[in-house]
C-alpha cells in the first residue's frame, strides 16, 4: 500500500511531461503533428497557440487525464493526516480511473499522430475559440469535473473500508469544495464568453454541453451541504456517499455527451461513435462497480445523530432534495430527445422554454427557504425563534420587490420575484453572519465578525452570491430592451434613454483576420458615455466570420452594440441592446466561488497544522 504515493507522483510527472511535449509542439508550430495542423496556424497569437492544445478533442482529453493525475498527486502530497489504508485506496481508485482514460486516449484519440508530409501551414483554430474567455474556460471546467473524481474515490474507498464517519466527511469536503469552486468559475467563464462573443447577449442556452457541466455543479453543491451533516451530525451518510458517486457519474456523462456528440449541440466537436462507446463502457464499469459496492455496503452505514423535524439537518435535507431534483430535471430534459426517438420514434426538441419552465420553480423554492434554513440551529429548533432576526430582511426584500413592481408598470412578475429572492438571500446572509457574533454592543459584535471562522464567511458570501446571480438573471430577462434597425453613417437613434450615433465604419487589419469596425458614440442627456467599436471579423484561414459585439459595461446596465451587414441604401444593419444588471450574473458567480474559497481555507481543514480548538457549539456532537 505504501507504493501508492510514489506511484501517484510518477504518474502525474509522466503525464505532465507528455502534456508539455504537446504544448511545445503547438508553441513551435510543429506541423508534422496532425493535431497541430488541424488546430493551429503560425500567424496565431501565442496565447491561442497554447489554448489550441486543449481546443480540440485529443488535446482536451490529455488535459483531462493530466488534471486527474494532479488531483491524485495532491492527495499524496497533502493527505498526511489520512489513515494510510484509506489514502492508498483513494489513490488506487483514482489510478484506475486514470488507466481507463489513458486507454481511451491511446486507442481512440492519440494526440501525437504524425503526418508523413508536413504541410506548409496549419488550418487555424475555430475563430470563435480564439478568445481570452474561452482560452481558460476548458481548464477550469475540467478542474471542476475531474476534481469530483476525488469525491468519487473517497466514496469508493470508504465503501471498501466499510465505514463512513465525521472524519471522512471532513477529508472529502476540501476536495469537493475545490472542484465546485473551479466548476463555478468554469461555467461562469463559458457563460460570459457566450454573452459577449455570440452576438446577441444570451448568457445561457440550456445546450446539452452546458447542461453537462451544470448537472455536476448542482450535485456537487448538494454534496457540499450533505457532507456538512455527516461531519457535524453523523447522519445522511449513505445519501452523501451516493451523491459523491453520482456527482462524478454526471461528470462522466458530461464527458460522454461532449465527446461522443450523441446529442448534437453547438459545442460538439467530436462526432465519432467509437469514442462514444468507449466512454460509455468506462461509465458503465465505474458507475456499475461503485453502485454495486454501494448496494452491498449501504447497510453498514448507520446514522447516529438524532434531530427533530425542524432543525438545520432537515433544512439541509430540503436543500439536497431541491438540488438533486433540479439536477434530475436538467438530466431528463437533456436526454429526452434521445429517449423519445429510441423508444417511441418521436423526433422532438427540448430547449430553453422547457428548461425555463421546468427548472426555475425549484430554484425559486430553494431561494425562498434558504435564509431561514441557514439560520436554524442544529438538532432542535423552533421556526418562530429562528425567523425572528430575519423579519427586517424579509420586509426589506419585499418592499424592494414591491417598489420594482410599481416602477416597471405592466411587465410580468419575473423581475420583482427575482429581486425579492436576491435581496432576501443577500440580507439573510448578512443577518446570519451578524447573528453568529453572539451578544454585546453593536460595535463589539462588528469587531467580532472579522474573527468568525472562514466557513461562516464562506457560507454568507456564497449564499449572497447566489442572490446576486438571481437578481442579475431576473433583471436581465425582465427589463432588457432591444433595437434593430438600419443606421446611416452619422445617423443616430435612441434606446432606453441613451442616444447612439454611428460616426464611421472602417476596415481594420488584425493579426490573423480582417475586420469591419463601426465607431458608435453613446451619449446620455447630452453627455458622452462611451465610444464603442463593434466589429465584424473574417478569419481568412478558417474561412469564418465572427461578430465582435462592443459593450459598455456598467454596474446597473450594459449597452451592447452589434454591427451587421451593409445595406443596399448605404446604411448598416445595427442591433443594440440595453441589458440591465447583466454583470450581476457573473459577479454573483465570482462571489459563490469566493465563498467556496473562504470555506476551503477555514482552519479546521488544516487539521495537521495544529490549528486551535474550535468552539464546542460547532464541534463534534457529544459521544
Partner 1 sequence: MKRVLLVLMLLGAPGAPLWAVQPDEILADPGLEERARGLSKGLRCLVCRNENIDDSNAELARDLRLLVRERLVAGDSDQQVIDYVVARYGEYVLLAPPKTGINWLLWWAGPLMLLGGGVIGFSYLRRRQAAPEGAGAAALNPEEAARLRDIMEK
Cβ distance 202 to 582 under 8 Å?
Answer: no
Nearer to partner 1 (CB atom), residue 71 or residue 206 = 206
Upper half-sphere CA count for residue 434 (Cβ side, 13 Å): 14
Residue 97 CB, shortest distance to partner 1, in Å, is 27
Nearer to partner 1 (CB atom), residue 182 or residue 206 = 206
Q: Which of 145, 182, 278, 307 binds partner 1 (CB under 8 A)?
A: 307
Cα separation, 437 vs 322, whole angstroms: 30
584 scored as a contact of partner 1 (CB under 8 A) = no
> Which residues, numbered 101-130, are part of the site for partner 1 (CB under 8 A)?
none
Residue 378 CB, shortest distance to partner 1, in Å, is 12
- Counting Cβ atoms within 10 Å, is residue 507 exposed (0-12), middle (13-18) or buried (19+)? exposed
Task: Tell whether the torsion through CA atoms of 255, 261, 266 and 267 is positive or negative.
Answer: positive
Reduced to 3 states (helix: H, G, I; strand: E, B; else coil), residue 482 is strand
Binding mask 594-613 for partner 1 (x = CB under 8 A): -------------xx-xx-x
Interface stretch with partner 1, choices 9-17, 72-80, 304-312, 408-416 (CB under 8 A): 304-312
Nearer to partner 1 (CB atom), residue 539 or residue 586 = 539
> Which residues, numbered 221-240, are part of the site for partner 1 (CB under 8 A)?
234-235
Nearer to partner 1 (CB atom), residue 106 or residue 309 = 309
SS3 readout for 472-513: HHHHHHHHCEEEEEEECCCCEEEECCEEEEEEEEEEEECCCC
Closest CA to 156 of 45, 264, 270, 242: 242
Binding mask 413-442 for partner 1 (x = CB under 8 A): ------------------------------
Cβ distance 460 to 429 under 8 Å?
Answer: yes
Interface stretch with partner 1, choices 19-27, 272-280, 306-314, 410-418 (CB under 8 A): 306-314
Reduced to 3 states (helix: H, G, I; strand: E, B; else coil), residue 583 is helix
Residue 187 CB, shortest distance to partner 1, in Å, is 17
Contact partners, residue 224, CB within 8 Å, separation at least 6: 173, 176, 177, 180
> Which residues, numbered 361-380, are part of the site for partner 1 (CB under 8 A)?
361-362
Residue 494 CB, shortest distance to partner 1, in Å, is 15
Cβ distance 59 to 111 under 8 Å?
Answer: yes
Cα separation, 110 vs 122, whole angstroms: 19
Interface stretch with partner 1, choices 60-68, 341-349, 418-426, 505-513 (CB under 8 A): 341-349
Interface stretch with partner 1, choices 261-269, 291-299, 441-449, 495-503 (CB under 8 A): 261-269
359 scored as a contact of partner 1 (CB under 8 A) = yes
Cβ distance 556 to 580 under 8 Å?
Answer: yes
Contact partners, residue 170, CB within 8 Å, separation at least 6: 231, 604, 605, 607
Interface stretch with partner 1, choices 20-28, 97-105, 319-327, 432-440 (CB under 8 A): 319-327
Q: Which of 346, 411, 504, 524 binds partner 1 (CB under 8 A)?
A: 346
Nearer to partner 1 (CB atom), residue 277 or residue 486 = 486
Contact partners, residue 267, CB within 8 Å, separation at least 6: 207, 209, 258
Binding mask 18-37 for partner 1 (x = CB under 8 A): --------------------
> Which residues, numbered 52-91, are part of the site for partner 1 (CB under 8 A)?
81
Q: Which of 20, 43, 99, 266 binds partner 1 (CB under 8 A)?
A: 266
Cβ distance 503 to 520 under 8 Å?
Answer: yes
**DSSP structural state of residue 620:** P
φ/ψ of residue 302, rounded to 5:
-90, 145
Cβ distance 217 to 183 under 8 Å?
Answer: yes
Closest CA to 70 of 81, 62, 58, 80: 62
Q: Which of 3, 20, 306, 395 binds partner 1 (CB under 8 A)?
A: 306
Cβ distance 47 to 114 under 8 Å?
Answer: no
> Which residues, numbered 167-206, are part of the site for partner 1 (CB under 8 A)?
167, 170, 199-200, 202, 205-206
467 scored as a contact of partner 1 (CB under 8 A) = no
> Which residues, numbered 533-562, are part of the site for partner 1 (CB under 8 A)?
543-545, 547
C-alpha cell at 352: 430553453
Q: Which of 303, 368, 514, 597 binds partner 1 (CB under 8 A)?
A: 303
Amino acid at each position: 500500500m505504501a507504493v501508492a504515493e510514489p506511484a501517484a507522483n510518477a504518474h502525474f510527472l509522466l503525464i505532465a511531461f507528455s502534456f508539455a511535449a504537446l504544448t511545445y509542439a503547438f508553441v513551435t508550430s510543429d506541423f508534422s503533428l496532425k493535431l497541430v495542423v488541424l488546430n493551429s496556424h503560425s500567424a496565431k497569437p501565442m496565447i491561442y497557440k497554447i489554448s489550441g492544445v486543449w481546443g480540440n478533442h485529443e488535446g482536451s482529453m490529455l488535459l483531462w487525464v493530466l488534471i486527474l493525475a494532479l488531483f491524485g498527486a495532491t492527495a499524496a502530497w497533502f493527505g498526511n493526516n489520512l489513515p494510510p489504508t484509506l489514502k492508498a485506496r483513494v489513490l488506487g481508485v483514482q489510478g484506475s480511473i486514470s488507466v481507463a482514460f489513458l486507454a481511451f486516449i491511446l486507442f481512440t484519440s492519440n494526440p501525437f499522430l504524425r503526418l508523413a508530409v508536413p504541410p506548409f501551414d496549419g488550418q487555424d483554430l475555430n475563430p470563435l475559440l480564439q478568445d481570452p474567455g474561452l482560452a481558460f474556460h476548458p481548464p477550469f471546467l475540467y478542474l471542476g469535473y475531474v476534481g469530483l473524481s476525488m469525491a468519487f474515490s473517497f466514496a469508493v474507498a470508504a465503501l471498501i473500508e466499510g465505514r463512513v464517519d465525521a472524519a471522512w466527511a471532513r477529508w472529502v469536503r476540501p476536495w469537493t469544495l475545490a472542484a465546485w469552486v473551479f466548476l463555478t468559475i468554469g461555467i461562469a467563464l463559458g457563460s460570459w464568453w457566450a454573452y459577449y462573443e455570440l452576438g446577441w447577449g444570451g448568457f445561457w442556452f440550456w445546450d446539452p454541453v452546458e447542461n453537462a457541466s451544470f448537472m455536476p455543479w448542482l450535485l456537487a453543491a448538494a454534496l457540499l451541504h450533505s457532507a456538512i451533516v455527516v461531519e457535524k451530525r453523523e447522519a445522511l451518510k449513505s445519501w452523501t456517499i451516493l451523491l459523491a458517486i453520482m456527482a462524478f457519474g454526471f461528470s462522466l456523462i458530461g464527458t460522454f455527451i461532449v465527446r461522443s456528440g450523441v446529442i448534437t449541440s453547438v459545442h460538439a466537436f467530436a462526432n465519432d461513435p467509437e469514442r462514444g462507446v468507449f466512454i460509455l463502457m468506462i461509465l458503465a464499469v465505474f458507475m456499475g462497480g461503485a453502485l454495486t459496492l454501494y448496494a452491498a455496503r449501504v447497510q453498514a452505514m448507520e446514522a447516529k445523530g438524532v434531530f427533530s423535524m425542524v432543525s438545520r439537518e432537515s433544512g439541509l435535507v430540503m436543500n439536497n432534495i431541491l438540488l438533486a431534483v433540479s439536477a434530475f430535471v436538467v438530466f431528463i430534459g437533456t436526454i429526452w430527445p434521445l429517449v423519445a426517438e429510441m423508444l417511441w420514434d418521436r423526433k422532438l426538441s427540448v430547449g430553453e422554454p422547457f428548461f425555463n419552465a421546468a427548472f426555475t420553480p425549484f430554484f425559486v423554492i430553494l431561494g425562498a427557504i434558504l435564509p431561514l434554513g441557514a439560520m436554524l440551529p442544529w438538532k432542535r429548533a423552533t421556526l418562530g425563534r429562528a425567523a425572528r432576526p430575519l423579519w427586517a430582511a424579509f420586509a426589506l426584500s419585499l418592499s424592494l420587490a414591491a417598489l420594482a413592481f410599481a416602477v416597471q408598470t405592466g411587465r410580468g412578475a419575473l423581475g420583482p420575484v427575482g429581486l425579492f429572492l436576491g435581496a432576501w438571500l443577500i440580507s439573510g446572509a448578512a443577518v446570519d453572519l451578524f447573528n453568529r457574533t453572539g451578544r454585546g454592543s453593536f460595535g463589539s459584535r462588528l469587531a467580532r465578525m472579522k474573527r468568525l471562522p472562514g466557513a461562516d464567511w464562506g457560507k454568507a458570501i456564497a449564499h449572497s452570491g447566489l442572490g446576486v446571480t438571481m437578481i442579475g438573471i431576473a433583471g436581465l430577462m425582465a427589463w432588457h430592451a432591444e433595437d434593430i434597425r438600419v443606421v446611416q453613417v452619422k445617423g443616430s437613434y435612441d434606446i432606453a434613454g441613451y442616444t447612439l450615433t454611428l460616426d464611421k465604419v472602417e476596415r481594420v487589419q488584425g493579426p490573423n483576420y480582417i475586420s469591419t469596425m463601426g465607431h458608435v458614440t453613446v451619449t446620455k442627456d447630452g453627455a458622452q458615455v462611451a465610444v464603442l467599436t463593434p466589429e465584424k471579423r473574417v478569419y481568412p484561414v478558417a474561412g469564418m466570420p465572427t461578430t465582435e459585439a462592443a459593450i459598455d459595461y456598467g454596474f446597473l446596465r450594459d449597452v451592447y452594440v452589434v454591427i451587421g451587414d451593409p445595406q443596399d441604401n448605404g446604411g448598416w444593419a445595427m442591433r443594440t441592446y440595453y441589458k440591465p444588471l447583466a454583470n450581476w450574473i457573473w459577479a454573483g458567480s465570482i462571489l459563490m466561488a469566493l465563498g467556496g474559497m473562504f470555506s476551503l481555507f477555514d482552519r479546521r481543514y488544516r487539521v495537521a497544522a495544529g490549528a486551535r480548538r474550535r468552539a464546542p457549539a460547532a464541534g463534534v456532537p457529544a459521544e
